[in-house]
Structure 1
């Protein structure tokens, strides 16, 4: 039984591009929150996070269009996506502690 290689980029592309929109939306929501030290850090971190997701989106698209370097480009897209997700979780903890602690 031959296994067809899984094209990870076809999964990363729509999710990473959606996460760019989520980052921009959260930046807008953070701007509505009262000014505190962490909220200024959170929007800057989310801006960097949106760049990581955008780079992951572009690499995923590139690997779909150019099959010659599929594995290497997919690996970079996957790593950037995971970095973006980790950064988003970190920022969400910062915002949650800011909002729910006295």
Structure 2
């Protein structure tokens, strides 16, 4: 299995988690009280971009190295934002 496919699998799974966090905060009306959902939106955008770039790296061999590098960087940014969203939510709901 190639590295971009690992990024694609992980990013798509974490994108689902970010969307569940966003939906849960909006349904429970907690989104108005803190900015954890804005951070989760940032994570969702980064993870969706990482999914797209890792898919493009799998499809286009010629530019795969550059696209894979950016997919990896944006994935880590999205992962950090997702962790930040959970931390903000945990701290503000003490």
Q: TM-score, normalised by structure 1?
A: 0.82
Aligned pair in 2 of structure 1 residues 62, 27: CA closer, same or farther (>3 Å)? same
Mark the runs of 5 or more structure 1 residues left unpaired by the alignment.
1-5
Note the aligned Cα RMSD (angstroms).
Answer: 1.6
- Runs of 4+ residues over 6 Å off in structure 1: none
Alignment length (residue pairs) = 93
How far apart in 2 are the matches of 1:35 and 1:55? 24
TM-score, length of structure 2 as denominator length: 0.89
Alignment pair present for 1:72 and 2:66: yes
Q: 1:25 aligns to what?
A: 20
| Structure 2: gaps spanning 5 or more residues | none
Which residue in the other structure is 1:3 paired with? none
Larger Rg: 1
Match of residue 4 from structure 2: 9
- Whether 1:37 and 2:22 are equivalent positions in the alignment is no
